Amino acid sequence: MSVLSPILTCPEIKEYMTKGERFIKWDDDSTNASPVILRVDPKGFYLYWTFQSKETEFLDITSIRDTRVGKFAKIPKSQKLREVFNLDFPENNFFLKTLTVVSGPDMVDLTFHNFVSYKENVGKDWADDIMAIVRNPFTYNASRYTFLEKILVKLKMQLNTEGKIPVRNIFQMFPADRKRVEEALTACHLPKGKNEGINPEDFPEAVYKTFLMNLCPRPEIDEIFTSHHSKAKPYMTKDHLTQFINKKQRDSHLNDVLFPPAKPEQVQRLIEKYEPSGMNVQRGQLSPEGMVWFLCGPENSIVSQDKLLLYQDMNQPLSHYFINSSHNTYLTAGQFSGISSPEMYRQTLLAGCRCVELDCWKGRPPDEEPIITHGFTMTTEIFFKDAIEAIAESAFKTSPYPVILSFENHVDSPKQQAKMAEYCRTIFGDMLLTEPLEKYPLKPGVPLPSPQDLMGKILIKNKKNQFIPGDNQDTLKKGKDPEDEVTNQPTPIERDGTANSGEVTEEIPEEGEMEKLDEEEIKKLQSDEGTAGLEVTAYEEMSSLVNYIQPIKFESFEISSQKNRSYVVSSFTEMKAYELLTKSPIQFVDYNKRQMSRIYPKGTRMDSSNYMPQMFWNVGCQMVALNFQTTDAPMQQNMALFEYNGQSGYLLKHDFMRRPDKQFDPFSVDRIDVVVASTLSITIISGQFLSDRSVRSYVEVELFGLPGDPKRKYRTKLTPNANSINPVWKEEAFVFEKILMPELASLRIVALEEGGKFIGHRIIPVTAAHTGYHHVCLRSESNMPLTMPSLFVYVSMKDYVPDSWADLTMALSNPIKFFNAHDKKSAKSQESNLERPELQTGISTSQLTTNGLPNATGTYSIPPSNGPAGMLSSGKDENMKEATNVTTEPQTASIEELQQIKAFGKLLKKQDKELKELERKMIKRREELLQKYGVLFTELAAQPGKKKNPAPPKAPKKKSCRRLPLDESRNTGEIAESPDNRVLELKDKLEEELLQLGEEQYDGIRKKKEQHATEHIAKIIELARDKQAAELKALKESCESDTKEMKKKLEAKRLDKVQTMTKNTTDKSTQERLKKEINNAHIQEVVQTVKQMNEKQNRFQQILEAKQAACIEKIKEKENQLQEEAFTEYEEKVKGLSAEVQDLVKTCVKVCFPLEANIAKEEALCAAPEEDQGPKEQLQGKDLNEIVKNEEQVAENAKEEEDDSTVIQDSRL
Q: Which CATH number goes with the domain that contains 739?
A: 2.60.40.150
Domain boundary among 153, 185, 211: 211
What's the mean pLDDT in 1170-1174? 45
Separation between Cα atoms, residue 699 and residue 715, nearest integer Å:
6
| pLDDT band of 828, cuts 50, 70, 90 | low
Region of residue 772 (phi > 0: left; psi between -120 and 50: alpha; otherwise: beta): left
User: Would residue 1187 count as lying in a domain?
Assistant: no
Q: Which domain holds residue 107?
A: 15-211
- 731 neighbors 685 (Cβ within 8 angstroms): no
pLDDT of residue 65: 95
| pLDDT band of 949, cuts 50, 70, 90 | very low
| pLDDT band of 1010, cuts 50, 70, 90 | confident
What's the mean pLDDT in 106-124? 93
| pLDDT band of 492, cuts 50, 70, 90 | very low
pLDDT of residue 1173: 43
Domain identity same for 221 and 331: no
| pLDDT band of 229, cuts 50, 70, 90 | confident
* C-alpha count within 13 angstroms, C-beta hemisphere, residue 1057: 15
CATH number at residue 648: 3.20.20.190
DSSP E strands, 120-260: 165-166, 197-198, 236-237
Domain identity same for 178 and 231: no
Catalytic annotation, pick one of 113, 327, 822, 1012 = 327
| pLDDT > 70 in the chain, percent | 78
| Residues whose CB falls within 8 Å of the CB of residue 198, separated by 6 or more in sequence, listed in order | 164, 165, 167, 170, 190, 191
Report long-range pairs for 274-280 (Cβ below 8 Å, ≥24 apart): 276/206, 276/209, 280/235
pLDDT of residue 1197: 57
CATH number at residue 39: 2.30.29.240
pLDDT of residue 870: 37
Most confident of 54-58, 230-234, 812-816: 54-58
Task: Check the annotation: does 195 bind a ligand.
Answer: no
pLDDT surpasses 80 at 253: no
* C-alpha count within 13 angstroms, C-beta hemisphere, residue 1139: 4
Phi, psi of 251 (to 5 degrees): -70, 125
| pLDDT band of 531, cuts 50, 70, 90 | low
Domain identity same for 780 and 904: no
pLDDT surpasses 70 at 509: no
Tell whether omega for the bond before 366 is within 30 degrees of 0, i.e. cis: yes
User: Would residue 968 count as lying in a domain?
Assistant: no
User: Would residue 1209 count as lying in a domain?
Assistant: no
User: Would residue 1201 count as lying in a domain?
Assistant: no
How far out from the chain centre does Cα 14 lie? Answer: 40
- 37 neighbors 103 (Cβ within 8 angstroms): no
- 845 neighbors 856 (Cβ within 8 angstroms): yes
In this predicted model, what pLDDT tens digit does every residue of 792-819 receive, in sequence order? 999 999 888 776 666 666 666 666 666 7
pLDDT of residue 905: 80
pLDDT of residue 3: 57
Q: Greater confidence, 255 or 613?
A: 613
pLDDT of residue 814: 61
What's the mean pLDDT in 1157-1171? 50
Domain boundary among 181, 211, 241: 211
| pLDDT band of 930, cuts 50, 70, 90 | confident
pLDDT surpasses 80 at 1150: no
Task: Check the annotation: does 1040 bind a ligand.
Answer: no
In this predicted model, what pLDDT tens digit does every residue of 136-176 receive, in sequence order? 999 999 999 999 999 999 999 999 989 999 999 999 999 98
In this predicted model, what pLDDT tens digit does every residue of 1090-1128 receive, in sequence order? 888 888 888 888 888 888 788 888 887 777 778 778 788
| Residues whose CB falls within 8 Å of the CB of residue 926, separated by 6 or more in sequence, listed in order | 994, 997, 998, 1001
pLDDT surpasses 60 at 641: yes
DSSP E strands, 445-522: 458-461
| pLDDT band of 642, cuts 50, 70, 90 | very high
Domain identity same for 198 and 246: no
Domain identity same for 630 and 544: yes
pLDDT of residue 872: 32
374 is catalytic: yes
Domain identity same for 793 and 820: no
Task: Check the annotation: does 408 bind a ligand.
Answer: yes
Separation between Cα atoms, residue 32 and residue 894, nearest integer Å:
85
Q: Greater confidence, 1180 or 311?
A: 311
In this predicted model, what pLDDT tens digit does every residue of 856-915 receive, in sequence order? 334 433 333 333 333 333 333 344 444 444 456 788 878 777 777 877 788 888 888 888
- Average pLDDT of every residue of the chain: 80
How open is the CA angle 172-131-107, to the nearest 5 degrees? 65
Domain identity same for 822 and 921: no
Domain boundary among 195, 211, 227: 211
DSSP state of 867: T
User: Would residue 166 count as lying in a domain?
Assistant: yes
pLDDT surpasses 50 at 508: no
pLDDT surpasses 50 at 1199: no
| pLDDT band of 1156, cuts 50, 70, 90 | low
In this predicted model, what pLDDT tens digit does every residue of 737-785 receive, in sequence order? 889 899 999 999 999 999 999 999 999 999 999 999 999 999 999 999 9
pLDDT of residue 990: 78
User: Would residue 670 count as lying in a domain?
Assistant: no
pLDDT of residue 498: 34
pLDDT of residue 894: 80
Q: Greater confidence, 688 or 849?
A: 688
pLDDT surpasses 80 at 825: no
DSSP string of 998-1028, one letter each residue: HHHHHHHHHHHHHHHHHHHHHHHHHHHHHHH
Domain identity same for 341 and 488: yes
The predicted model scores a pTM of: 0.67
**DSSP β-bridge partners for residue 37:** 22, 50
- 733 neighbors 701 (Cβ within 8 angstroms): no
pLDDT surpasses 90 at 950: no
SS3 call for 52? coil
User: Would residue 1137 count as lying in a domain?
Assistant: yes
| pLDDT band of 833, cuts 50, 70, 90 | low
pLDDT of residue 590: 95
| pLDDT > 90 in the chain, percent | 47
User: Would residue 1208 count as lying in a domain?
Assistant: no
How far out from the chain centre does Cα 833 lie? Answer: 42
Number of structural domains, the chain? 6
Domain identity same for 740 and 847: no
In this predicted model, what pLDDT tens digit does every residue of 537-578 receive, in sequence order? 888 899 999 999 999 999 999 999 999 999 999 999 999 999
- 986 neighbors 992 (Cβ within 8 angstroms): no
pLDDT of residue 259: 81
Q: Please state which of the ranges 223-232, 268-277, 395-404 shows the lowest mean pLDDT.
A: 223-232
pLDDT of residue 886: 46
Domain identity same for 1003 and 1043: yes
Separation between Cα atoms, residue 653 and residue 618, nearest integer Å:
10
| pLDDT band of 84, cuts 50, 70, 90 | confident
Q: From the DSSP assignment, how many helices (H) and strands (E) are in the chain?
A: 41, 30
| Residues whose CB falls within 8 Å of the CB of residue 1071, separated by 6 or more in sequence, listed in order | 1061, 1062, 1065
How far out from the chain centre does Cα 460 lie? Answer: 40
What's the mean pLDDT in 1158-1167? 52
What's the mean pLDDT in 1164-1170? 49
**DSSP β-bridge partners for residue 597:** 570
DSSP state of 436: -
Separation between Cα atoms, residue 1147 and residue 1149, nearest integer Å:
6
Domain identity same for 249 and 327: no
Domain identity same for 302 and 188: no
In this predicted model, what pLDDT tens digit does every residue of 346-370 receive, in sequence order? 999 999 999 999 999 999 888 889 9
| pLDDT band of 484, cuts 50, 70, 90 | very low
Q: Single out the residue of 260, 317, 338, 300 nearest to residue 142, CA to CA.
A: 300
| pLDDT band of 530, cuts 50, 70, 90 | low
SS3 call for 27? strand
pLDDT of residue 1177: 42
Task: Check the annotation: does 28 bind a ligand.
Answer: no
Catalytic annotation, pick one of 113, 229, 240, 374 = 374
